[in-house]
Copies of this chain bind each other. A is one copy, B any other.
């Protein structure tokens, strides 16, 4: 696409670097911003720049944070004795969205994957062990993707953590709620039969 304005070309190119944004969509965004008040566009770019320059990793859990310690780690209303171990920030956001968890997090920054050259020393595993020693952690919940690498990471971590006496659990795996049984993949379905749980009538 050839644009008559070089400045416009640059702005379109900028938007087109974003994931999932093609040149047509980028052009639509630029044309939209050109119609906005300059002050509004300035605020738009300021907000994006501030996000990149001021957001840092929480020194405790490695979640994204505005401060040295993130809003979750510094929340006194949350349970500081339970830590949910996740691969990345997106997982924190996904779990927070459920409103079902009120404990702490620990972001590993990936999973153990020798094929990609990622060993335990490349992840925030040492810091997790330190947290366990420092805080009175009751339980560590493994909320890592059920892939080969994820399972390897869970195995490695549990070997490391269980001797400290902490309770280690993994999130439940099985068929999805609302999903049709016949479309569940066979590994999930097979394991969900092996890992069946007693049925109970709950009041809620």
Contacts and interface: CB of A to CB of B under 8 A. Distances in A.
Interface of A: 1-8, 10-11, 13-15, 17-21, 25, 27-34, 36, 38, 41-55, 63-66, 70-72, 89-90, 92-93, 96-97
A20 B11 contact: no
Contact of A8 (B11, B41, B55): B55
B34 A4 contact: no
Contacts of A13: 47
Nearest to A18: B29
So how many copies of this chain end up in the complex? Answer: 2
Point out which of A18, A21, A54, A55 has the most chain B C-beta atoms below 10 A from its C-beta: A18
B4 A33 contact: no
A93 B27 contact: yes
A47 B11 contact: yes
Contacts of A4: 63-65, 70-72, 92-93, 96
